[in-house]
Amino acid sequence: MTSLPLSDSGKTWNALVLGRAGLDLYPQPDGGKTIDADGFSADMGGSGGNIAVAMSQAGSKVALLSAVSEDTVGHFVRQRLAQYQVSDAFLQVSLGSSRTSLALAEVRPTDCEVVIYRNDAADLQLQLTDAMKHAVTQSDNLVVTGTALISEPSRTTTLELMLHAKRHHCHVWLDLDYRPWNWPDLQTTRAIYSLAAEHAHVVVGNEEEFAVLTDELDLYIKQASLPSKGQTILLKRGGHGASLFTQDQRLDTGVYPVKSLKPYGAGDAFLGNLVHHYSGHEDWQAAMSCGSAAAAIVVSQRGCASAMPSPEQITLMQQSIAMTPAANWR
């Protein structure tokens, strides 16, 4: 087995990302509706895969924890992970009827329909292994996407790995990534998400996603950032930027205004780059600026994984476009 280079901390991995990776198809020409498509272009997508690629493009040593089907679509995902230098060392193959997820995503700035096929999804068959548990002890970060919590065995695998990571000083990030059509009711969703949030150092989401956790977001933020709990809350606010709440500070940032080609992929680019840059310097302001620049670049291009920017592209964005003024949340 080939030995792997170490992260700056001396660990094997800068990050492990747990979540879905699949095939995205984009109707052509750009700007059209799926029903009128002349053809489709393809890319790898899925929140887990996108975040992993974003981190790899930024310079992190990263592996994806997921499962794919043993078919052409699963092989496509493996090929793209290799192309973007994301390790598939822990990528499982789900046999039987399970299939790698597929998304049809229109390339339109507004009235943009995205249809995700998740019936009997392969990634939700993810099983906990000793190799994964050991990998967590050799990683600086574990980034978890909420779609991994939808059903068993992925749900238990995710929760147990989060707890294991926290016990072994691996920084745990929970991206709520809430998709209502995947859940039976709010009560069930809240119970599972609340349990996952208890295992996280940082919880990330927009207001709609945080509404799954609590009916009183202000109070939730205050309690999460108490010294006794010490969590960080990162509230994504779309075109209004983002707000960060820690035990010691509150930080509001704006966005880099660009002409948007499509609305999706920004959150994954933002989080992947934020984790990478914060882990290297522990500077929230700089990390959020890099994440915001990455998000702006991704929404101005077709695709998700293939649109994740290089450090040079992020620097150019920061130097050429002024960020909008930060708007306070409440």
Residue by residue, DSSP assigns 117-157 as: E-TTBGGGG----HHHHHHHHTEEEEEEEGGGGSSTTHHHH
pLDDT at 2: 32
Is residue 1 situated within a structural domain? no
Does a structural domain hold residue 273? yes
- Whether residue 237 lies inside any domain: the answer is yes
Whether residue 33 lies inside any domain: the answer is yes
Q: Which CATH number goes with the domain that contains 194?
A: 3.40.1190.20
Angle at 327 between CA 324 and CA 330, to 5 degrees: 165
Alpha-carbon distance 307 to 268, whole Å? 11
Overall number of domains in the chain? 1
- pLDDT tens for 292-318 read 999 999 999 999 999 999 999 999 999
CB atoms within 10 A of CB 200: 22
Under 8 Å between Cβ of 287 and 281: yes
Nearest to 23 by CA among 89, 69, 57: 69
Contacts 24+ apart (CB under 8 A), 90-93: 90/16, 90/63, 90/64, 90/65, 90/129, 90/131, 90/132, 90/135, 91/64, 91/65, 91/66, 91/67, 92/66, 92/67, 92/68, 92/125, 92/126, 92/127, 93/67, 93/68, 93/69
6 compared with 29, residue with greater pLDDT: 29
pTM for the model stands at 0.95
Q: How many residues does the chain have?
A: 330
Read off the DSSP letter of residue 180. G
Token pair, residue 14, equals 């800068």
- Strands of the sheet containing 114-117, edge to edge, are 39-45, 22-28, 102-105, 114-117
Q: Which domain holds residue 179?
A: 13-320
Whether the CB-CB separation of 126 and 145 falls below 8 Å is answered with no
Q: In one letter, which amino acid is 147?
A: T
Contact 148, 126 (CB under 8 A): yes
Residue 173 confidence (pLDDT) above 50: yes
Which residue is it, tokens 């050799």?
Answer: 138
Whether 66 is covered by a domain: the verdict is yes
At 215-263, the pLDDT tens digits run: 999 999 999 988 888 899 999 999 999 999 999 899 999 999 999 999 9
pLDDT digits 0-9 by tens, 73-93? 999 999 999 999 999 999 999
Residue 151, domain member (yes or no): yes
In a domain, 329, yes or no: no
* pLDDT score at 172: 98
pLDDT digits 0-9 by tens, 1-14: 233 445 667 899 99
pLDDT of residue 4: 42
Q: What pLDDT band is residue 21 in, cutting at 50, 70 and 90?
A: very high
In a domain? residue 130: yes
Provide the token pair at 75.
């092989």
Beta carbons of 282 and 319 less than 8 angstroms apart: no
User: How does the average pLDDT of the chain come out, rounded?
Assistant: 94
pLDDT of residue 8: 65
Dump pLDDT digits (tens) for 177-224. Answer: 999 988 999 999 999 999 999 999 999 999 999 999 999 999 999 999
Q: Residues of 257-281 as b/e, b for ≥16 C-beta within 10 angstroms?
A: ebebbbbbbbbbbbbbbbbbbbbbe
- 31 contact partners, CB below 8 Å, separation of at least 6: 107, 108
